[in-house]
Structure 1
Amino acid sequence: MVGKRELYRAGSTYGQGTQHKERRSKQNEDLRPTSEDDVESGLHSYANGHANGDGRPRPRIWRFKDAADTAMEDKRREELKKALLHGIDRDGLENFRKSDDELKAIKNKKVRAFYEAQNQRLNDWLEVDAVVMAVADDVLESMDPDPDRDGIQERSGGLQAVAGNIGELLPEEEREKRQKAATRAKWAININVIANVLLLTGKIVAVFSSGSLSLIASLVDSALDLLCTIIVWTTNRLVQWRLSSLRKKFPVGRRRLEPLGILVFSIIMVISFLQILQESVEKIIPLHGKAEQLPPVAIGALLATVVIKGIIWFGCVPIKTTQVQALAQDCKTDVIFNTLSLLFPFIGAKANVWWLDPVGAGLLSLFIIYDWGETCFENVTRLSGQAASEKLQKKLLYLAYRFSPVVDGFKNVTSYHAGDGIWVEYDILLDPNTKLNRSHDVAETLQYCCEGLDEVDRAFVTTDYSAGGPTGHAQDAERA
């Protein structure tokens, strides 16, 4: 609210005369339309529901000043939008893309790999550009919904319309792309769960008809694989719950529950196969034994696993999303694991080599221990704040470049994992004489645009006027 405002108590003798009533009536005729709760109108409603009819309205000069200030601010934001939205030649970027036919015609593998990487980088840049084009406009329109500072929201923008859900402001093409990716991932995971249940049932039946350690190892792998899927599904549902009580306990979300669930499961997996490894060693130590015969039901169960997992694997390869690619990698591992689980006892029985089955089970156990140990370490490092990949860092740097028309420079761009998602910190440089409103609008628009990227969970933007100033964090903030 510009200027000093005085409210007079209801029932006061001031202003009850005819002359004052006429003057007040004349002033009210010039007031712009306002709600009954607009303090400027002098009709502020109190808790008892009665309006203060004796409140003195703002003088016309102040209302004119409010309108002028609002117009100036709107003009300033329009200039910001123009600088952000018209600074990139999208068609010009496409000129550097190689088509699939052109890539196939390149015989040199290194050169082809270079252009494939360039195409992917162009995709990242165009995604950033699309996010900025879609989000920046709505974010800037959402700034300062109460331009006259009277406590009443006179207008709203895109952010208010979507209740802060930045994903709804993205281009329709990008939203459809993400929705399709999520749907495909959901279908792939559901199919994999059904396959795991059926294959696990078959392996349980097979184990009762054979004492093969390789078959037991395959059964344990399938059982724990199903458990992993249940853990991921459960944590994913917990993350998606929108309860007010959970928002208070987890103010920045619960996305890290998913890697924590995988971390717990990987430990269970390693411990389980350490037990299989121990049994393999105990079976080999006597240095004599009998080759285990695989019954037809066991062979059928393992072959079915290889075939079904192979189909899911090849079906997931074309879907370039993180979840589905992880599922494809898991199916690939299952194909290799179950193929070896079938070959070791089968060859051992045919060649009458009794130790081949326990040795094979031991080798498979070592493989699983290594594989899931690596997964465990990966989740630990991500939860500990591992730096983002070089590919993503380049994408974030391009977003910084996208804001170069409205900033003097970038002092620092830091990106790191907070679980599977990425947290980003931008430190931008502005002119020392930059007004607070412009500084705020630039910084917050960059923040929302960054959080509009699919990989980013949270972004923070700080402003500075000197490239040689402090880094922004205490060097001993994290003590060893």
Structure 2
Amino acid sequence: MVGKRELFRAGDAKAKGYSRHQGRGAEDIRPQSSDDLESGLHANSANGYADGNEYDNGNGDAKPRPRIFSFKDVANTALEDKRRDDLKKALLEGINRDGLENFRKSDEELKGIKNKKVRQFYEDQNQRLNDWLEVDSIVMAVADDVLDSFDPDPDHDGDMERAGGLQLGGGGIHEFLPEEEKEKRRKANKRAKLAININVIANVFLLVGKLIAASSSGSLSLIASLVDSALDLLCTLIVWTTNRLVQWRLNTLQKKFPVGRRRLEPLGILVFSIIMVISFLQILQESVEKVIPLEGVAEQLPAIAIAALVATVVIKGIIWFGCAPIKTTQVQALAQDCKTDVIFNTLSLLFPLIGYQADVWWLDPVGAGLLSLFIIYDWSSTCVENITRLCGQAAPAALEKKLLYLAYRFSPIVDGFKKLTAYHAGDGVWVEYDILMNHDTRLHRSHDVAETLQYCAEALDEVDRAFVTTDYAAVGPSGHAEDAERS
């Protein structure tokens, strides 16, 4: 390593062309190159290797080597470090972060605003400030570690003289995130797992209760509720299974799916949506067949059926209200599902009860048909939503503003931004930045800026993948062939 190697000239080692490297631990003996700047050795056609203070002028005459030449790589490394320090300073200190809080409205101020639209505006502004501060904290925490990781072998001898955070962290960036951000994500994952586990246990017990109840009654509304509970449990199992598959770190899977398997989750939901729609189309068909004769007898719900439906409404209502305050995608989806179950099971209880009490025989099958239409519409919407995301739907406007602020965060070290494109690739988002640099910018600076922006973008929880390209002209081709993906 630079400044940490000693040259030994024992006969065997000299003959074989080996040098001894004394690094952080034990000595390492490896083949010596024919031109090693660190050790000062230089190939000599006359005697094999010259002394560390000599160099060959091409005629076989050994002349004294200038002392500074032995430390050329040390000087280059120092210049590289200074250049990166200047880049860090411009990036980390070039934005006034404290000024953002001046635009925040406190909870007391929000409560004092009577106009709902104005209050909503300031609530959205507070959320945007939260997004921007999250971006800022990630840049402050990640950028310096990323910059320190570039060019770990400045003298290009195959031996890394230094290691940055990316090398020490195995290429991952999670450990560089701010502690509060890591804690927030950890708590969100923990709450999501807890909510899902509670929902699974509840679905199992409710399914058993409804199965017993349905066996003692011919109510189509109750059967529809039973099918809904069974498929809810199946949906949870599909989500759990695909989530586990995504998290597996098998080498064979990593080779087969080099950018991950995150899209397995929306694909699983897509398959389940189709199953759900087909199942309730069958319930709808039975409802129509039961109404067509225009005669029948009102079904009485047994006590166990009423108890099962009431228990479903109560338990799902508790889970719904418990999940509503947790603002994560998974938990919010679960809360929405529980809300749907509350409405569905309430109506499944009311239709046959009212039909029996009022002696209206057709109310139960008609109610089951209406509930089936509701479920078909709800899950068809989910199906379409997942299809559009898998097809590359544009990212939400709020996320685009967040990504745009990340671009602004790099404004002290770039000349401008030519284009920002953000689109879904499943639940996650892929981002493309096209940044403008001066046409005289050196390659190492262009590389360091672009990849630092890329890593900072991928540190955001919503972003799965980021791509950054550099340009020197504000106008010109977009960087992609316009007919690469024909509509």
What is aligned with 2:29? 36
Counting only pairs closer than 5 Å after superposition, residues 214-363 of structure 1 correspond to structure 2 as 214-363=221-370
**How far did residue 118 of structure 1 move?**
0.4
What is aligned with 1:109? 116
Q: Distance in 2 between matches of 1:385 and 1:85?
A: 33
CA contact (8 A) 1:291 1:348 kept: yes
What is aligned with 2:62? none
Q: Does residue 95 of structure 1 match 2:102?
A: yes
SS at match of 1:410: strand
What is aligned with 1:402? 409
Q: Could you tell me which of 106, 114, 126 is aligned with 1:119?
A: 126
Q: Distance in 1 between matches of 2:23 and 2:177?
A: 35
**How far did residue 406 of structure 1 move?**
0.5
Q: Does residue 144 of structure 1 match 2:151?
A: yes
Q: Does residue 392 of structure 1 match 2:399?
A: yes
Q: Could you tell me which of 425, 446, 462 is aligned with 1:439?
A: 446
SS at match of 2:439: coil
**How far did residue 62 of structure 1 move?**
3.7
**How far did residue 89 of structure 1 move?**
2.7
CA deviations over 1:126-184 (Å, ceiling 9, x no partner): 00000000000100011110011111111101111111111111011100010000000
Q: Could you tell me which of 176, 201, 204 is aligned with 1:197?
A: 204
CA contact (8 A) 1:43 1:55 kept: no
Q: Distance in 1 between matches of 2:206 and 2:440?
A: 68
Q: How many residues align?
A: 452
CA contact (8 A) 1:36 1:43 kept: no
Q: Distance in 2 between matches of 1:75 and 1:84?
A: 14
CA deviations over 1:294-332 (Å, ceiling 9, x no partner): 000000000000000000000001111111011000000
What is aligned with 2:81? 74
CA deviations over 1:1-22 (Å, ceiling 9, x no partner): 9xxxxxxxx999xx88xxxxxx
Q: Could you tell me which of 427, 430, 439 is aligned with 2:434?
A: 427
What is aligned with 1:455? 462
Q: Does residue 83 of structure 1 match 2:90?
A: yes
Q: Distance in 1 between matches of 2:199 and 2:476?
A: 53
SS at match of 2:29: coil
Identity %: 76
Gaps of 5+ in 2: 2-9, 42-46, 56-64
TM-score, L = length of structure 1: 0.90
**How far did residue 88 of structure 1 move?**
2.6
TM-score, L = length of structure 2: 0.89
Q: Distance in 2 between matches of 1:445 and 1:186?
A: 32
CA contact (8 A) 2:153 2:162 kept: yes
CA deviations over 1:450-478 (Å, ceiling 9, x no partner): 00000000000000001112100001111
Amino acid at match of 2:475: G
What is aligned with 1:156? 163
Q: Distance in 2 between matches of 1:174 and 1:32?
A: 36
Residue 447 to residue 326, structure 1, CA distance change in 2 (3 Å): same
Q: Distance in 2 between matches of 1:197 and 1:263?
A: 23
**How far did residue 90 of structure 1 move?**
2.8
**How far did residue 376 of structure 1 move?**
0.3
CA deviations over 1:233-281 (Å, ceiling 9, x no partner): 0000000000111110000000000000000000000000000000000
Q: Distance in 2 between matches of 1:97 and 1:122?
A: 7
**How far did residue 224 of structure 1 move?**
0.2
Amino acid at match of 1:73: E
Counting only pairs closer than 5 Å after superposition, residues 460-471 of structure 1 correspond to structure 2 as 460-471=467-478
What is aligned with 1:49? none
SS at match of 1:107: coil
SS at match of 1:267: helix
Residue 380 to residue 106, structure 1, CA distance change in 2 (3 Å): same
Residue 32 to residue 314, structure 1, CA distance change in 2 (3 Å): closer
**How far did residue 70 of structure 1 move?**
1.2
What is aligned with 1:412? 419
What is aligned with 1:7? none
Gaps of 5+ in 1: 2-9, 17-23, 45-52
CA contact (8 A) 2:40 2:70 kept: no
What is aligned with 1:129? 136
**How far did residue 72 of structure 1 move?**
1.1
**How far did residue 42 of structure 1 move?**
6.6
Amino acid at match of 1:91: D
Q: Distance in 2 between matches of 1:298 and 1:62?
A: 90
**How far did residue 61 of structure 1 move?**
4.1
CA contact (8 A) 1:84 1:405 kept: yes
CA contact (8 A) 1:273 1:365 kept: yes
SS at match of 2:300: coil
**How far did residue 74 of structure 1 move?**
0.9
Amino acid at match of 2:81: D
SS at match of 1:386: coil
Residue 198 to residue 81, structure 1, CA distance change in 2 (3 Å): same
CA contact (8 A) 1:439 1:463 kept: yes
**How far did residue 68 of structure 1 move?**
1.4
SS at match of 2:156: coil
Q: Distance in 2 between matches of 1:299 and 1:104?
A: 42
